[in-house]
């Protein structure tokens, strides 16, 4: 079982890093006193609520995709695989993770939740589900049912742990 866990974590590393990188990018932007650009351009949806909110920026989205791409590229060097395939897989997992996170923000705004408010399960899993579905549709990653279960459980636990660590390091204002 340990081998399967390590394999799943390795396989999903581009999505994990992509999902976590906007927190660091946001801190860098604040430190440099630069302006973030919200993905929804400050606009409201038909329900009168913001589409995504200020917490979803173009800088974070692009940074997440680039982080996923770079992670996949580095993995392919380490595994002696074709560099283009590693970068492509990392790119797709990065895009999927960022789209999943964005979808989560959209759903949370519709439910009247503010950025940073918790929505258990959706907060921990939507990014990886969208990333894996996208990678599967492009035949870059094909998982068995058992591997999907491993991926969901591992991601859920890792997400809780890494968010707690980010909170303790003052990278996040809330531990979820």
Provide the residue ranges of all domains of the chain, joining segments of one domain with +.
2-168
What does the mean pLDDT of the chain come to?
A: 95
Output the six-digit token pair for 172: 């996040």
Note whether 27 and 90 are within 8 A (CB). no
Q: Decide if pLDDT at 83 tops 90.
A: no
DSSP class of 118: -
Q: How far is CA 52 from CA 48, 89, 146, in A?
A: 12, 26, 33
pLDDT of residue 66: 98
Angle of helix 122-137 relative to helix 83-110, nearest 10 degrees?
140
Please say whether the dihedral angle defined by the alpha carbons of residues 4, 87, 71 and 95, taken in this order, is positive or negative: negative
What pLDDT, on a 0 to 100 scale, did the predictor assign at position 82? 84
* Amino acid 33: pLDDT: 92
Q: Give the chain's radius of gyration (CA, Å).
A: 16
Predicted TM-score of the model (pTM):
0.93
User: Residue 176: pLDDT band by 50, 70, 90 thresholds?
Assistant: confident
Would you say residue 74 has pLDDT above 90?
A: yes
Is pLDDT of 34 > 90?
Answer: yes
């Amino acid at each position: 079982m340990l081998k399967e866990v390590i394999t799943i974590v390795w396989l999903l590393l581009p999505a994990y890093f992509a999902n976590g990188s906007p927190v660091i990018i946001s801190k860098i932007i604040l430190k440099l006193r630069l302006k973030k650009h919200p993905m929804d351009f400050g606009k409201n949806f038909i329900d009168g609520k913001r589409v995504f909110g200020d917490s979803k920026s173009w800088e974070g989205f692009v940074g997440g995709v680039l982080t996923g791409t770079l992670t996949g590229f580095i993995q392919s060097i380490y595994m002696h695989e074709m560099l283009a395939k590693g970068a492509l897989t990392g790119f797709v997992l990065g895009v999927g993770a960022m789209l999943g996170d964005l979808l989560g923000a959209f759903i949370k705004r519709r439910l009247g939740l503010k950025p940073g408010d918790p929505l258990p399960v959706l907060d921990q899993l939507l990014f990886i589900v969208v990333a894996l579905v996208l990678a599967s549709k492009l035949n870059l990653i094909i998982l068995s049912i058992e591997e999907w279960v491993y991926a969901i459980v591992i991601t859920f636990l890792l997400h809780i742990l890494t968010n707690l660590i980010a909170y303790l390091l003052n990278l996040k204002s809330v531990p979820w």
